[in-house]
Structure 1
Amino acid sequence: MKIHPLITTSAALADLCERLAKADFVCVDTEFMRENTYWPELCLIQIADTEEAAAIDPMAADIDLSPLLELLVDNEDVLKVFHAGGQDVEIIYNLTGKTPHPIFDTQIAMMAISQSEQIGYSNLVESWLGIAVDKGARFTDWSRRPLDARQIDYAIGDVTHLSKIFPKMLKRLIKTGRGQWLDAEMEKLADPENYRNDPATAWQRIRASGRNPAVLGRLKALAAWREHEAQDKNIPRGRIARDETLADIASHPPKQQADLAKVRGLSPGWKENEIGKRLMAALAAATPLGEDELPPRTPRGAPLGKEGALVADLLKLLLKIRAREIDVAARLLARSDDLELLAAGVRKNLSLLEGWRFEQFGREALELVEGKLAFAVLGGKLKMTHIDEIHEEMGQQNPAAVEDDGIAAEKATADEVVADEAMDEDRA
């Protein structure tokens, strides 16, 4: 593979993009800084196909990125391959108002062919290529110039390795017939709505209990105010005010600006400064949320009660068993909140009851909830089977005894899955 010197001119970039536009796919990665800014600061772009690779300096004087951005967002003939590409896609969206398309993410794809839920890039390279990635430049300040050869080599390696892994991964997906499982996930990654920083919807990212329209109306106004302040100053929103602080103010609004000095998370200066004045103005303009804006009455993750929690635990155990059986990441099959909704009796708008997820897991999950599927210890082994099959295998045994055995097995396995999840949390 040909590795180009760092590209710092518009002419060199245009020539590169003209060649890459003829490729079947390009692998893309970015280096950026965002610790001290609202908008991520793009510092380096790496791109490769199977023949050549380059790093592009977007901070170079007078460089025109238009050919590259056109390749990424307008050329539908070239597949754009990322690894854990959410933040890379966000940067491209901020530059163009569009997202790369079509798109493929190797981290997401690994969930369809292994039990890895969020495999890191280093582990991906080691598992597919047997190469240990040098992590020495991982914490580089990419905004500093000049970049040395080691930094550039490290950055380009992110796409050269990916260009070798992707064809292998694609063959595995075709062989297993699981490529279509990923279509919706990739489209979700490319959805521009994921990256639009709309102040009017910023409140939805803040955890707030209850459905009080007045409280949530104030939270919406405060979150929008904070978003505008952070964008205008180009600083992280948390440096304006933390989520907990906004939620506290929304629940217990100060009557006058002087009361801001008593709010935890705000400095005493807010009682008389301009930003405090703007916060109070946002509060004064707040209106209660309409019914159509309020969160659902049965929020995800709501307490299920003892019986419902037991059913949810059994569903989680079933999910673990099924994920291991077909070697797929459990999170790709179903999310915990969907399992809890299923246990609570919800049957609509659950992804696990649709399409391939229903075929691979949802049907059995539904049968378990409806009493058609059970866990039982047969021949010393935990078995997941239909109730009528248990009766057949137990022969002439008293049906009541079989039912008691099934209930005992369910309770035991529910305890096991709770203990298992606790151990997982300790390891994390």
Structure 2
Amino acid sequence: MAEKSSSPAEFAVFDRDLDAAWTERYLQSPRLAVDTEAMGLIHGRDRLCLVQIADAEDRVACVRIGLGQTEAPNLKRLLEAPTVEKVFHFARFDVAALAAGLGIEVNPVFCTKVGSRLGRTYTPRHGLKDLVMELVGVELDKGAQSSDWGRVDELTDAQLAYAANDVRYLLPARERLEKMLRREGRWDLAQRCFQCVPVVAELDRLRFHQIFEH
């Protein structure tokens, strides 16, 4: 039976940027789980509202992005740090959102959705909920997914819990995907795909679609 998600070991909410202490703490991690919430799916029209980060110690931070905000120096330093792998689910969206909203060029990247499609070829179900259920054994509540993230100063407990849970299980899922990809001889291919994510994200921001099609 799947477990219900519990509360994080540590949880903090910041306005506009991470503070120095959490930034330094996260910079000591070899990898971090990252997610974003926005007003919609179109970069440049739909603004970035929230950035969520979790480490392997289950310490979760949510950063509320202000209306009209274009910079977050600590987030930029962390998410561009070459020594820290950033793990996303459907990374191309989040990488594009962070570039469009805050001028952050995220790298290096691991995408659990790409990893799932390369490794879990026995299923068409590559959404985060299905992935976490199978690989981690936790049932995610996605009820707050389509909600108003723009009211960053008034986010509900349900929204913050949803945001936290979207990153808390990415790191264990990533570890299981790596084992699967190595076993199936696709780890090197996956890494090359992850290296392409920033380019694909930039193409998305510039509204170039299907440029490799005939």
Shorter-chain TM band: 0.7 to 0.9
Q: Which amino acid aligns with 2:83?
A: D
3-state SS of the aligned residue for 1:136?
Answer: coil
Give the match for residue 166 of structure 2: 158
The alpha-carbon deviation at position 135 of structure 1 amounts to 2.0
List gaps (5 residues or longer) in structure 1.
Answer: 207-294, 301-428
1:180 alignment partner AA: D
Q: CA deviation at 1:195?
A: 4.1
C-alpha spacing 1:9/1:186, structure 2 compared with 1 (3 Å): closer
Q: 2:32 aligns with which of 19, 26, 45?
A: 26
1:97 & 1:62 partners in 2: Cα distance?
A: 11
Alpha carbons 1:93, 1:99 under 8 Å: kept: yes
Instruction: Specify the alignment match of 2:9 in structure 1.
Output: 2
Larger proportion of helix: 1
Note if contact 1:8-1:63 (Cα within 8 Å) is conserved in structure 2: no
C-alpha contact 2:32 2:85 (8 A) present in aligned 1:
yes
Question: Which residues of 2 match residues 191-270 of structure 1 at below 5 A?
Answer: 191=199, 193-197=202-206, 205=209
Aligned to 2:5: none
- Residues paired across the two proteins, number: 202
Greater strand fraction, Structure 1 or Structure 2: 2
Identity over aligned pairs, percent: 27
Match of 1:68 among 69, 75, 90: 75
Partner SS for 2:62: strand
Indicate conservation of the 8 Å contact 2:48/2:98, yes or no. Answer: no
SS of residue in 2 equivalent to 1:20: helix
Q: Deviations over 1:179-205 (max 9, x none)?
A: 1011221122121642452xxxx6x65
In structure 1, give the amino acid aligned to 2:126.
I
Q: How far off its partner does 1:13 sit?
A: 2.4
CA contact (8 A) 2:32 2:54 kept: yes
Taking structure 2 as the reference length, the TM-score comes to 0.82
Mapped to 1, the partners of 2:174 and 2:202 lie a distance apart of: 27
1:53 aligns with 2:60: yes
Q: Does 1:179 align with 2:178?
A: no
Counterpart secondary structure, 2:82: coil
Superimposed CA distance per residue, residues 48-98 of structure 1 (whole angstroms, 9 cap, x where no aligned partner): 11011111111289896211112112x111001110122111112214555
The structure with higher relative contact order (CA 8 Å, sep 6+) is 2
Q: Check 1:86–1:9 CA distance in 2 against 1; reply closer, same or farther (3 A cut).
A: closer
Residue correspondence of structure 1 range 12-411 to structure 2 within 5 A: 13-34=19-40, 38-51=44-57, 52-59=59-66, 65-73=72-80, 75-95=81-101, 97=103, 99-115=105-121, 116=123, 119-144=126-151, 145-191=153-199, 193-197=202-206, 205=209, 300=214
Residue 162 of structure 1: how far off its partner (Å): 0.9
Contact 1:13 1:68 in 2 (8 A): no
Higher CA-based Rg: 1
Letter in 1 for 2:31: F
Aligned residues of 1:44 and 1:55 also touching (Cα < 8 A): yes
Query: In structure 2, do the counterparts of structure 1 residues 60 and 48 end up closer, same or farther at CA, with 3 Å as the change threshold?
Result: farther
**Aligned equivalents of 1:194 and 1:40: distance in 2?**
17
Q: CA deviation at 1:39?
A: 2.8
SS at match of 1:99: coil
1:185–1:118 Cα change, 3 Å: farther
**Cα distance, 1:5–1:193 mapped onto 2, change above 3 Å:** closer
